[in-house]
């Protein structure tokens, strides 16, 4: 360690070390048995992941938190410790595509089955939970792309009555706008790659929870399955955390204004945003996510209209992710939902003319100016 004298660096250090050294065997024993703090091997834990996880746990109102290498690692680390062959999950029928693949296809190879339900219909979730033993219910705070919002407190009661854990992927809301653990969830999952990282320059995930016994199980899964979070990505994510609330609130306020502005554009057939009274979950959103979030969709007539918009509005880059600090567009039909059947896309309301916007926190006038180019104004 450098000798800083009475000073210390204001910003946290980055520790890329893959392994830690011990003065003797007694120190080895003390660290392995957790009688002394310390680190052994970076896949099992390192200071940058620990700092990040502690801060995120505080934001989520969690008793413990674990950082891991991606949002999908977080989904895996939350769910796999809960299940064994023969177990069943109840899952939303509108989850992030890879989450659906993991839970409904991959886990089936290990003897874990899923009952998929409309998570926005609590009675459907109750019926699915009562149809047999169930280990966990998995939902997302705001679904992709149409921002459907399940009644999390109701689902917590229903899950717990069935002896199941409620696991909530809160990536679209972030703890700045919604804290699922406060609403009764047992585990919260975040992809830090999106809004929490905020700058599209890191890939990380996070799991937090309230049950003290679940924390070590999740940490062990991260270590055993090999889902560790790289130190540099953790360092970057920590750098963004102090501005998370500012970014999330500014982006949500931009999204609210932009949704109303889009609804007035002649080329726009439909705007989908939970902050608008015509959104099916508007009332619930006022209670659970009162800032309504920064994701919205608008619908043009067809795929060619989307192409014309994108070519005319390069300032709204087409990029199949979300949560960037500035506004980006994506096209669910050709990206996130590309592999879904036409019938499944119809069921979810994903048409060739549908554009999803991830609204950023840059000045609203600039976003409108760039979007306006797309509409030829």
Ligand X SMILES: *Cc1c(COP(=O)(O)O)cnc(C)c1O
Using CB under 6 A as the criterion, which residues of the chain lie in contact with ligand X when the complex forms?
70-72, 96, 99, 140, 144, 169, 171-172, 191, 193-194, 203, 205
Shortest distance (Å) from residue 143 CB to ligand X? 8
Q: Shortest approach of ligand X to residue 29 CB, angstroms? A: 37
User: Which residue in 94, 96, 165, 179 is the catalytic one?
Assistant: 96
Q: Is 273 designated active site?
A: no
Q: Which CB sits closer to ligand X, 230 or 374? A: 230
CB nearer to ligand X: give 192 or 300.
Answer: 192
For the question of residue 96 being annotated catalytic, the response is yes
Residue nearest ligand X by beta-carbon distance = 71
- From 93, 151, 169, 281, active-site residue: 169
Shortest CB 170 distance to ligand X, Å: 8
CA atoms within a 13 Å half-sphere pointing along the CA-CB vector of 305: 15
Shortest spacing between CB 207 and ligand X, in angstroms: 12
- Closest CB to ligand X among residues 115, 193: 193
Cβ atoms 168, 189 nearer than 8 A: yes
Of 140 and 370, the one with the shorter C-beta distance to ligand X is: 140
Compute the least distance from the CB of residue 6 to ligand X, in Å: 41
Strand 270-272 with 295-299, pairing? antiparallel
Q: Is 186 among the residues known to form the active site? A: no
d(CA 125, CA 131): 10
**CA dist., res. 70 & res. 156, Å (int):** 26
Which CB atom, from 162 or from 187, has the smaller least distance to ligand X?
187
Q: In the bound complex, what is the minimum distance in angstroms from residue 333's beta carbon to ligand X?
A: 17
**Which of residues 193 and 254 has its CB atom nearest to ligand X in the complex?**
193
Omega before 112 within 30 of 0, i.e. cis:
no
Which of 135, 148, 194, 356 is catalytic? The answer is: 194
Which of the residues 39, 43, 270, 340 is marked catalytic?
43
Q: How far is the CB of 267 from ligand X (least distance, A)?
A: 27
Cβ-based nearer residue to ligand X, 15 or 138: 138
Measured CA to CA, the distance from residue 28 to residue 44 in angstroms comes to: 15
Is 126 annotated as catalytic? no
CB 20 within 8 A of CB 40: yes
Residue whose C-alpha is closest to residue 327's, from 270, 285, 369: 369
Residues with catalytic annotation?
A: 43, 96, 169, 194
């Amino acid at each position: 360690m450098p000798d800083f004298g009475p000073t210390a660096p204001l910003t946290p250090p980055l520790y890329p070390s893959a392994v830690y050294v011990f003065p003797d065997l007694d120190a080895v024993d003390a660290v392995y048995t957790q009688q002394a703090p310390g680190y052994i091997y970076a896949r099992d834990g390192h200071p940058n992941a620990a700092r990040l996880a502690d801060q995120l746990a505080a934001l989520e109102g969690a008793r413990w938190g674990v950082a891991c290498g991606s949002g999908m690692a977080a989904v895996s680390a939350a769910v796999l410790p809960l299940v064994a062959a023969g177990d069943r999950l109840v899952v939303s029928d509108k989850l992030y595509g890879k989450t659906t693949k993991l839970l409904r296809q991959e886990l089936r190879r290990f003897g874990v089955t899923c009952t998929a339900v409309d998570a926005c219909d609590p009675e459907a979730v109750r019926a699915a939970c009562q149809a047999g033993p169930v280990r966990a219910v998995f939902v997302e705070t705001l679904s992709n792309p149409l921002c459907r919002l399940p009644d999390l407190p109701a689902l917590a009661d229903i899950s717990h009555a069935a002896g199941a854990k409620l696991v909530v992927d809160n990536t679209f809301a972030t703890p700045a706008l919604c804290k699922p653990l406060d609403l009764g969830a047992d585990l919260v999952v975040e992809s830090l790659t999106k809004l929490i990282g905020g700058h599209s320059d890191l890939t990380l995930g996070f799991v937090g929870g309230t049950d003290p016994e679940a924390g070590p199980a999740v940490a062990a899964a991260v270590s055993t399955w090999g889902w560790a979070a790289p130190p540099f990505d953790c360092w970057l994510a920590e750098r963004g955390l102090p501005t998370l609330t500012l970014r999330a609130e500014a982006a949500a306020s931009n999204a609210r204004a932009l949704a109303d502005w889009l609804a007035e554009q002649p080329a726009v057939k439909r705007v989908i945003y939970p902050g608008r009274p015509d959104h099916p979950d508007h009332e619930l959103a006022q209670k659970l996510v009162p800032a309504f979030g920064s994701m919205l969709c608008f619908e043009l007539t067809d795929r060619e209209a989307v192409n014309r918009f994108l070519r005319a509005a390069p300032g709204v880059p087409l990029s199949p992710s979300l949560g960037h600090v500035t506004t980006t567009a994506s096209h669910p039909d050709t990206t996130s939902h590309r592999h879904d059947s036409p019938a499944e896309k119809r069921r979810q309301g994903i048409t060739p003319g549908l554009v999803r916007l991830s609204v950023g926190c840059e000045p609203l006038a600039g976003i409108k100016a760039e979007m306006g180019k797309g509409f030829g104004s």
